[in-house]
Structures are given as structure tokens and as C-alpha cells.
């Protein structure tokens, strides 16, 4: 069974620069594959420096001369609400495109439009309610904060749940008054073109939003290095993040990077067994396991270890693997044959490092496409590569522990630090353990359920900076301190004679 091509697709995917769909200056294109068959289904413009230059020039013109950065927050919010309504109205079309292009099960893809729309509504509310500080020195000085957008934002997004991930960056960037150049992931460029109609219908001014498709080594590299780009927000793997970090340095760009993860779930003997089982199965096998916060390392207390492994393996064997368009599929096709090969290499490595208790192969009824059964390894030692390295697929490693201290040590014994999960009925232990885990986020007795007001980001090899709520607006904005003199200011009269300096007044310390 293979997935049918969605209706009403464009003949080819093009850049969107200054309000116009356009081919690459070079005329170059690349193939986009259907993950369920690995057949080419569309051509996409392959951008390079010339296309990035055009897009940045359009964004810069819109920022320097257009109305968007100077609109009142309420005016920007009205357009953001229209964007949210447009996104919501396209739920069926978006889900179909996203599922077909990325291999995401259609049932899970249907939630992406609602999440993307909520991002725009959330930041629309936030900019209207935002309060900036003022500090008074009565009769002498008034100090206040002038918040203004930083400029042109370069947004580089990943191939997993691409449309929703794009909304997570676009909403705060636009809410703050920035103009943007979006570089979507080359594996999954299809849904990004929907933004062009959505923004036009919502009344976003021309040039505020631009798209350049292409590869990280060309289009992405040119965007990061461009002198007229003021900040870069990147989501992707750690090695690429390190390269971007270095390339931002010469132009002193602001950076926010959400990188890889190898998130632990610590399951203590007093945990709600069934709830932990349900949550950790969902946490690693939903979205095909291609999620940054996946609970891909399960650390289970030894007294319940054997029972948990047996129950987990039994459930994993029943996880339905099928075509992306099948409403009953729980795991569908991995995004691309290159990624599929990478994941399968880790499966083979795991077979030599640990005990395979479920999955580990392609389903017999799906001989074509990037399919893998829900795969579970038990008795995984900490030095194993499948314990230490991000796999980004439906593969989980289970490791026993004896004591609380050992669980914390195992949880922290990787280079990553994005998310973690703690399962216990002991409230004191839950908080104590959570505080000692080296990660940007910890969930207690839950999988990844987020409040948009909270910080999102990692530590160690999992990223730089945090976004979410006001933190996102802080990243896309500059806070300028304005100091207004209200009374006489004593100034030491350098070069004058016959004066005494017995009142330092407001001179104060400088920098």
C-alpha cells in the first residue's frame, strides 16, 4: 500500500521573495521524495547566496521602510489573529500535505494546525499585554525601557513536524515586529508554501515574510553569514548548531538554538506502572520517534525492571506500523532514505550492545518505503552508543538502576540536556531528582505536555538560549534604556578652574 499524492499541489516549489514566488537565480532544483515510496513527487528550487541576498534585501527594505516594525501592538495582534484563523481553516489540507511529505501518521498530523494557530494567538495576546519597566528618581530622573524589534530574523527550521515548528519561530518573530527569511528543511519543504497564501490573506505587508528553499550548506550557510541578518533561530542537530555558532560570530548575531536530545525517563518502583508505561511508549514512538524531546532512554528501578521490560516489549510489538495516510497507523514512514539508513545502522549497532526485545526490522507487509517496527533494547549499558547518541527514530534503550543517586548519574551521563521525565509517587523525591537532572525541562509523571508561557530550551549539547512566552519576545527584541533628566544634573567641570566638587549628584558610576 502506498500513499496517494495530495490534490492541488503546485507544479514545483519556489522561493517566496518580496511577495512573489520565484525560481532560483541559478535555476537549480532538487528532488523531494515521498517517504512511503521514496519516489520523487515534486521539484523544489535550490537556493544559494544569490537567492538569500534577494530575500534579505526584501526583508531589510520591509523593516527599514515598511509599516510592520512601527505598528501598534494591537494592530500587529489583529493580523496575527487572522493568520491563526487562516491556519485553522486549512487543517485538512495541511495535515494531508504534512503527512505525505514527512511520513507523519495522518492522525497525528491533524493536530499540527491547531498547535500552529495557537502559537499565533498566544503571541498576539502577549504583545498586547506586555509591560515594560520604568524607574523613577523623583525630581531628578526618569528611566524607562524602549522595546523595539531587532531587525531581520533568519529562521532555520527542522524536518520533523515542519509547519508547527515554523509557526513556533514565525509567531514571536512577527509579533515582535521583525521581518523574516525562513529556510525550511530540504527533506520537507511542501507545507511551507502554505504560509505564502496564509500571510497574504491575513494582510501581512509585502516583504515581511520571505522563503528561501535549499540545503544547509548553501542557503542556510548564506543566511547565517549575511551581514544584514540580525539574529538566527535554529532547530536541528548539535553538529550543525556548532557550525552556526561559529559562523554567527563575525557579525555578532543573536542566536537561539534548540539542538539534539537523548532524554531520560526515570521510573521509580513506586511509580504508577500503567501510566508510566503508556506515557513512555507514546513519548518515544509518537511522531515516528522523530522528536527532540523523545524519552529514548528509560531508566527503570531494578525491583520492577523485569516486569516493566516485559510489559513494554509486549506493547511495543502491538504498535501499528502502516502508511502515513492510514488513520490506524501509530508509526508510519521515517522522513527520508538517508535518515532511515542512519536509524537502521543504530539498530544493528544496538544488537551488538544490548538485548533486543521488540522490533528491529522492517515490517513484512511494507517492503517499500522507510518503515521500521517499534524497536526496544533492554539491559543497555551506559557506554553503549544507543545509550549515548541521538537516534531520532522509533528506538528506545532501557537500563536498570538501583538507587536514586545512580538514576541521576545515569540520566546526566550524556552530552545532551534537553528534556527529562521522572515517575514517582513520592513528591519530595520527584522535586529533588528533577532539580539534579541536567536538562532544560523536566516533566514529573507526564510526557511532553507544555504550557506556552514556560521556557523551552536545553543545556549542554542540546542548545543555546531559551524561548517560550516572554523569553521569545526578549530574543526577537532589543531593550533600549532611556534616561530622561528632570532636574539639575551636577557635572564635574573638567578643564574649569575655581570650582569645588562636593556633590557627585547623578554622575554615578559608568562602565
The secondary structure of 409-443 as a DSSP string is HHHHSSS--SEEEEE-S-HHHHHHHHHHS-SSEEE
Q: What is the pLDDT of residue 495?
A: 86
pLDDT tens, 465-482? 989 999 999 999 999 999
Residue 383: which pLDDT band, with cuts at 50, 70 and 90? Answer: very high
3-12, 82-91, 278-287, 353-362: which range is least confident on average? Answer: 3-12
Considering the domain architecture, whether residues 218 and 271 belong to the same structural domain is answered as: no
The domain total for the chain is: 2
Mean pLDDT estimate for the chain: 95
Are residues 221 and 283 both part of a single domain? no
360 vs 364: CA distance, rounded Å: 12
Q: Residue 3 domain-assigned?
A: no
> What CATH number does residue 274 fall under?
3.40.309.10
Q: Does any domain span residue 319?
A: yes
Check whether residue 239 and residue 291 sit in a common domain: no
Residues 303 and 198 grouped into a single domain: no
Share of the chain above pLDDT 90, in %: 91
Does residue 331 sit in the same domain as residue 226? Answer: no
- 38 in the same domain as 85: yes
Run of H or E including 97: helix 91-102
Q: What is the pTM of this model?
A: 0.94
Residue 321 backbone dihedrals phi, psi, to 5 degrees: -105, 125
What is the per-residue pLDDT for 511?
A: 59
Residue 252 belongs to a domain: yes
Task: Say if residue 83 is in the same domain as residue 111.
Answer: yes
pLDDT at 301 over 90: yes
Pairing verdict, β 141-149 and 39-45: unpaired
Neighbours of 355 (CB within 10 A): 14
Whether 486 maps to a domain, the answer reads no
Same domain, 89 and 218: yes
Residues recorded for the chain: 511
Distance, CA of 166 to CA of 335 (rounded, Å): 17
Q: For 181-221, how does the pLDDT look when each residue is reduced to its tens digit (9 = 90+)?
A: 999 999 999 999 999 999 999 999 999 999 999 999 999 99
The C-alpha atoms of residue 104 and residue 509 are separated, in whole angstroms, by 58
**Which range of residues forms the domain containing residue 109?**
14-259+464-476
- Judge contact between 462 and 439, C-beta under 8 A: yes
Same domain, 291 and 369: yes
pLDDT at site 500: 61
**Residue 136: inside a domain:** yes
pLDDT digits (tens, 9 = 90+) for 160-175: 999 999 999 999 999 9
Which residues are CB-neighbours of 426 under 8 A, at least 6 positions away?
268, 270
- Judgement on whether residues 217 and 310 belong to the same structural domain of the protein: no
* CB 90 within 8 Å of CB 262: no
> Does some domain include residue 178?
yes
Q: What is the CATH number of the domain that holds 215?
A: 3.40.605.10
Residue 397: pLDDT over 80: yes
Catalytic residues: 258
Check whether residue 28 and residue 130 sit in a common domain. Answer: yes
506 within domain boundaries: no
pLDDT given at position 2 = 54
Instruction: Judge if 64 and 18 occupy the same domain.
Output: yes
Q: Average pLDDT for residues 451-464, to the nearest whole number? A: 93
Residue at 231 is within a domain: yes
Q: Can you give the pLDDT at residue 1?
A: 45
Amino acid at each position: 500500500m502506498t500513499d496517494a499524492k495530495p490534490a492541488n499541489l503546485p507544479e514545483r516549489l519556489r522561493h517566496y521573495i518580496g511577495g512573489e514566488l520565484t525560481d532560483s537565480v541559478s535555476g537549480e532544483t532538487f528532488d523531494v521524495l515521498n517517504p512511503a515510496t521514496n519516489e520523487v513527487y515534486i521539484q523544489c528550487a535550490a537556493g544559494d547566496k544569490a537567492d538569500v541576498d534577494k530575500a534579505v534585501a526584501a526583508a531589510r527594505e520591509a523593516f527599514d521602510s515598511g509599516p510592520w516594525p512601527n505598528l501598534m501592538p494591537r494592530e500587529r495582534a489583529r493580523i496575527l489573529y487572522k493568520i491563526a484563523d487562516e491556519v485553522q481553516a486549512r487543517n485538512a489540507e495541511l495535515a494531508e500535505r504534512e503527512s505525505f511529505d514527512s511520513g507523519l501518521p495522518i492522525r497525528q498530523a491533524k493536530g499540527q494546525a491547531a498547535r500552529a494557530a495557537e502559537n499565533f494567538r498566544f503571541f498576539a495576546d502577549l504583545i498586547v499585554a506586555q509591560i515594560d519597566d520604568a524607574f523613577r528618581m523623583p525630581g531628578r530622573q526618569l528611566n524607562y525601557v524602549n522595546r523595539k524589534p531587532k531587525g531581520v530574523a533568519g529562521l532555520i527550521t527542522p524536518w520533523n513536524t515542519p509547519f508547527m515548528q515554523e509557526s513556533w519561530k514565525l509567531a514571536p518573530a512577527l509579533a515582535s515586529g521583525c521581518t523574516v527569511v525562513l529556510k525550511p528543511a530540504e527533506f520537507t519543504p511542501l507545507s511551507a508554501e502554505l504560509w505564502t497564501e496564509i500571510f497574504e490573506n491575513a494582510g501581512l505587508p509585502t516583504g515581511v515574510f520571505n522563503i528561501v528553499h535549499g540545503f544547509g550548506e548553501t542557503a542556510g550557510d548564506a543566511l547565517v553569514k549575511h551581514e544584514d541578518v540580525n539574529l538566527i533561530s535554529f532547530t536541528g542537530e548539535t553538529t550543525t548548531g556548532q557550525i552556526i555558532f561559529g559562523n554567527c560570530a563575525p557579525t555578532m548575531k543573536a542566536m537561539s538554538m534548540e539542538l539534539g536530545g537523548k532524554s531520560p525517563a526515570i521510573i521509580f518502583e513506586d511509580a504508577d506502572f500503567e501510566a508510566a508505561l503508556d506515557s513512555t511508549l507514546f513519548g518515544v514512538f509518537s511522531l515516528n520517534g522523530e522528536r527532540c524531546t523523545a524519552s529514548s532512554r528509560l531508566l527503570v528501578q531494578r525491583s520492577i525492571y523485569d516486569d516493566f521490560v516485559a510489559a513494554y516489549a509486549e506493547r511495543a510489538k502491538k504498535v501499528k506500523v502502516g502508511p502515513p495516510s492510514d488513520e490506524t497507523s501509530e508509526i508510519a514512514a521515517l522522513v527520508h532514505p538517508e535518515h532511515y539508513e542512519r536509524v537502521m545502522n543504530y539498530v544493528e549497532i544496538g544488537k551488538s550492545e544490548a538485548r533486543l526485545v521488540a522490533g528491529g526490522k522492517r515490517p513484512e507487509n511494507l517492503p517499500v518505503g522507510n518503515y521500521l517496527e517499534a524497536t526496544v533494547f533492554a539491559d543497555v549499558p551506559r557506554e553503549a552508543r544507543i545509550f549515548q547518541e541521538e537516534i531520532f527514530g522509533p528506538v528506545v534503550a532501557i537500563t536498570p538502576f538501583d538507587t536514586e543517586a545512580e538514576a541521576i548519574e545515569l540520566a546526566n551521563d550524556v552530552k545532551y540536556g534537553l528534556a527529562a521525565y521522572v515517575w514517582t509517587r513520592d513528591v519530595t523525591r520527584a522535586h529533588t531528582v528533577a532539580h539534579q537532572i541536567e536538562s532544560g525541562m523536566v516533566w514529573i509523571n507526564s510526557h511532553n505536555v507544555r504550557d506556552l508561557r514556560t521556557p523551552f530550551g536545553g543545556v549542554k549539547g542540546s542548545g543555546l538560549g531559551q524561548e517560550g512566552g516572554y523569553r521569545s519576545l526578549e530574543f526577537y527584541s532589543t531593550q533600549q534604556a532611556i534616561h530622561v533628566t528632570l532636574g539639575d544634573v551636577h557635572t564635574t567641570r573638567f578643564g574649569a578652574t575655581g570650582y569645588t566638587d562636593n556633590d557627585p549628584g547623578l554622575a554615578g558610576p559608568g562602565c
